[in-house]
Amino acid sequence: MGGVTSNMAAKLAFFPPDPPTYGVSGPPEAAEGVVVPSQKVVLTGVPIGSEEVEARRVLTSRGNEIVVMYIRNKKAKVTFLHSHGNAADLGVMYGLFVALSNHLRVNLLAYDYSGYGRSSGKPSEENTYADIEAAYKCLVETYGVKPESIILFGQSVGTGPTLDLAARLTCVRAVILQSPLLSGLRVMYPVKHTLWFDIYKNVDKITRVRCPVLIIHGKKDDTIDCSHGKQLYELCQQKYEPLWIEDGNHCDLETYPEYLKHLENFVKAIEMMTPDFAKTEASTGTLELFEKARTSSDRSDISRKVVSFDRRERGRMSTGYRERPRHSTDGRHRMRKSVDLCENSGDGVANKPRKSIDRFMIRAVGLCNVDCLTEDPSKLKYKN
């Protein structure tokens, strides 16, 4: 039954750009039966002209090949692992990723979910979990990035795989959540208890995140209400001063000057901190940190096998007080219409706006969420 729900959710919750906004060229495919876990490729249709940008195909535990893009910054002390929002791919996000890397002086690895961009497979909740695991392993094993220097960055739908991974790792440096959701069903209905068929149960996972968490949300977000971000903030174990952008909506937060300024302050604060992680047995900190493959989308309600961590409390980074972890939320959220957006493709061809989805079907699953970010770096308003 969980698989049926996951398939229905995939049809309603995921909106990969069609066609993809970039292409891939690279070495010929491996001979039949030969598994290639990682190989370099070249992205076409995007202005990659720097030796500091590299792309690869990476094999996931579910057998899909996802495309990852790694941006180096010579002055970087930390590395972002970015999970983008809906209705976007690496081509759409390229300009913003380069701007973030340059302005914040960070390395950045981004990836396309299964079924997005030139990644193989079909979009699903379970596939996104396998996708971010593969991207994390690529960072550690291929690029030699230390786990304690990795900051997980999730935007909207991307906060689902981000929090899932953060809840199962003890050695990442920090987490950034932009326009996060409590859960898929809670975007549509003010449910008080987590239901088995819900997806991306962030409300149940964030209490297991032991590193500092920054939450950014627009107060006028008409896709995922700002109350989602505020309730997740209250549940954080280690809080960093959040950013509530007064006039910010769901897709325009990066256009506000305070957005990059707050991120810059956060990165500097994290760089100055001395991480106090539990020691892991694995030298790379990867294989032992992942639980066995999930069998359904309600896996988050089952006790997880997690690497042991230091349970000593650390000082909070903000003046916020800690509440007892909540098992449900009672905030009322108004019913939301589907958001149909169009993005300009990397080759200059605009994608046609999608027709609204049958609301009856949406109510059956409870998630209608489409995200976008500006792909034009010239529109980013920030001060050096």
Annotated catalytic residues are 156, 221, 250
The single-letter DSSP state of residue 353 is: P
Within 13 A of 305's CA, how many CA atoms are on the CB side?
8
| Dihedral Cα 57, 60, 63, 67, nearest 10 deg | -30
What values do phi and psi take at 131, rounded to 5? -65, -45
Task: Report the C-alpha gap between 83 and 65 in whole angstroms.
Answer: 16
For residue 370, give both structure tokens. 């489409």
For residue 271, give both structure tokens. 């760089």
For residue 185, give both structure tokens. 């069903």
Give DSSP secondary structure letters for 217-242: EETT-SSS-HHHHHHHHHH-SSB---
CB contact at 8 A, 205 and 181: no
